[in-house]
Amino acid sequence: MGIPDSRSVCGWSENAKVILWHLACLCNCRAMRRAKEERRRALASARCGGYPCRLPRRRLLIMQTVHLDTMPIPGAELSAFLHDVSYLSLAEAPGMAAMHCRFRIAAYDDAWFGALGVARPDTLARAVPKRKAEYLAARYLCQLLLAERGLPTAVGSGQHRQPLWPEGWTGTITHSDETAVVALAPSGEGLMLGLDLERWMSDKTADNVHEGILVPGEREALAGPWPFPHALTLAFSAKESLFKALYPRVGQYFDFNAAEMTRVDWDAGRFSIRLLKTLAPGLEAGRVLDGSFHLRDGQVLTLIAAF
């Protein structure tokens, strides 16, 4: 896919041009992606979040980045807000694709909604800039992934703020510390998809919250090479991913005590989590779901994809 000729899009809206140009730029970065993959693999033994990164190469997040300052987006300051838009190598389900971006809350402006072609819901009218920036960055990634597949790009929100995806598709959104990640996949035979990004807890935070996150005996499953605050962050994130994956089927909130971590493969970046309560048909107590985790820049990203 080449860069579109300006004459071929002259009749398009500015928002459509932005999306089309962005997709074209991403598609023209294959060589850059291969080079960056080799460089990131060479860093596999680097320290991640204060301890050795022990995930195998295939578990590293592979970035394919396009900087917005190379694109014809209205307002040169936009790249100061949204940058490092990238694909991620997450492929836990057939046809799954994921994207990542960084954003700066200090550079947020309401005008960016219009510039990026993202509708701002009324519920955000009185929201703080942080919430608006998170929503905008994540919904823009949704828009890119959907447009790339020829799908309607609007992702609404349900009664409990859950994303509403086009029929036949499912997705998941997460954001933390000015970083947003979105994954999208065909829903197939009832795919459940959940993604969560967290920064490592401090020792003090872990001491204060661990009893509300772990059930009795669960701490034993987290014993391993990681400091307890990091292992607790993994458990917290895994349960957040579980909630996001299961909520569309369950239709109601459930707490951390509805499941427990039973296994962590620290080297392969895999974990298992068992339901302790029956939540819905097919999601009975005792069912075990598997997930993966990935490390980057002092954060842990967890993903659950199950049918």
Instruction: Return the CATH number at 183.
Output: 3.90.470
What tens digit of pLDDT does each residue of 147-201 get?
999 999 999 888 888 899 999 999 999 999 999 999 999 998 899 999 999 999 9
What secondary structure does DSSP assign to 18-58, as a single string?
Answer: HHHHHHHHHHT-HHHHHHHHHHHHHTTTSEETTEE----GG
3-state secondary structure 262-301: EEEECCCCEEEEEECCCCECCECCCCEEEEEEEEECCEEE
What tens digit of pLDDT does each residue of 36-84 get?
444 344 333 333 333 333 433 334 344 444 433 333 334 446 778 998 8
If asked whether residues 122 and 180 sit together in one domain, one would say yes
What CATH number did the domain enclosing 283 receive?
3.90.470.20
The boundaries of the domain holding residue 250 are: 194-306
- The runs of H, that is alpha helices, within the chain are 14-27, 30-42, 78-81, 111-116, 129-148, 203-213, 218-221, 228-250
What tens digit of pLDDT does each residue of 113-151 get?
998 899 999 999 999 999 999 999 999 999 999 999 999
Q: Per the annotation, does 175 bind a ligand? A: yes
Decide if 172 is inside a domain.
Answer: yes
What is the spatial distance between Cα 302 and Cα 195, in angstroms, rounded to a whole number?
6
If asked whether residues 183 and 202 sit together in one domain, one would say no
Backbone φ and ψ of 71, nearest 5°: -115, 150
Decide if 64 is inside a domain.
Answer: no
Specify the pLDDT at position 24.
52
Asked if residue 1 has pLDDT above 50, the reply is no
Asked if residue 228 has pLDDT above 80, the reply is yes
Query: DSSP 3-state assignment of 220?
Result: helix
If asked whether residues 220 and 257 sit together in one domain, one would say yes
What is the spatial distance between Cα 287 and Cα 206, in angstroms, rounded to a whole number?
28
If asked whether residues 246 and 280 sit together in one domain, one would say yes
Specify the pLDDT at position 56.
35
Q: Per the annotation, does 22 bind a ligand? A: no
Overall domain count for the chain: 2
Decide if 235 is inside a domain.
Answer: yes
Q: Per the confidence metrics, is the pTM higher than 0.85?
A: no
If asked whether residues 122 and 106 sit together in one domain, one would say yes
Q: Per the annotation, does 204 bind a ligand? A: no
What is the spatial distance between Cα 101 and Cα 137, in angstroms, rounded to a whole number?
7
If asked whether residues 212 and 300 sit together in one domain, one would say yes
What is the spatial distance between Cα 88 and Cα 86, in angstroms, rounded to a whole number?
6
What is the spatial distance between Cα 291 and Cα 239, in angstroms, rounded to a whole number?
10
Domain boundary among 132, 166, 188: 188
What tens digit of pLDDT does each residue of 273-284 get?
999 999 999 999
Asked if residue 7 has pLDDT above 80, the reply is no
What tens digit of pLDDT does each residue of 229-244 get?
999 999 999 999 999 9
> What's the Rg (C-alpha) of the chain?
20
Q: Per the annotation, does 210 bind a ligand? A: no
If asked whether residues 182 and 205 sit together in one domain, one would say no
If asked whether residues 245 and 298 sit together in one domain, one would say yes
- Local confidence band at 288 (pLDDT 50, 70, 90 cut-offs): very high
Decide if 29 is inside a domain.
Answer: no
User: Torsion angle, CA of 219/221/225/229, rounded to 10 degrees?
Assistant: -30
Show the CA angle centred on residue 140, arms to residues 104 and 108, nearest 5°.
Answer: 25
Q: Residues 6 or more apart from 68 whose CB is under 8 A from it?
A: 78, 79, 82, 83, 85
If asked whether residues 167 and 254 sit together in one domain, one would say no
Domain boundary among 188, 218, 242: 188
Specify the pLDDT at position 80.
85
Domain boundary among 153, 188, 223: 188
If asked whether residues 293 and 199 sit together in one domain, one would say yes
Q: Per the annotation, does 34 bind a ligand? A: no
Decide if 17 is inside a domain.
Answer: no
Query: Which residue type, as a one-letter code, is found at position 131?
Result: R
If asked whether residues 178 and 263 sit together in one domain, one would say no
Decide if 259 is inside a domain.
Answer: yes
If asked whether residues 211 and 139 sit together in one domain, one would say no
C-beta of residue 295 within 8 angstroms of C-beta of residue 49: yes
Residue ranges of E strands in 64-191: 64-66, 82-88, 97-103, 156-157, 163-164, 169-176, 179-186
Q: Per the annotation, does 196 bind a ligand? A: yes
C-beta of residue 258 within 8 angstroms of C-beta of residue 273: no
Q: Per the annotation, does 131 bind a ligand? A: yes
Decide if 70 is inside a domain.
Answer: no
C-beta of residue 116 within 8 angstroms of C-beta of residue 18: yes
Decide if 61 is inside a domain.
Answer: no
Largest CA distance in the chain: 65
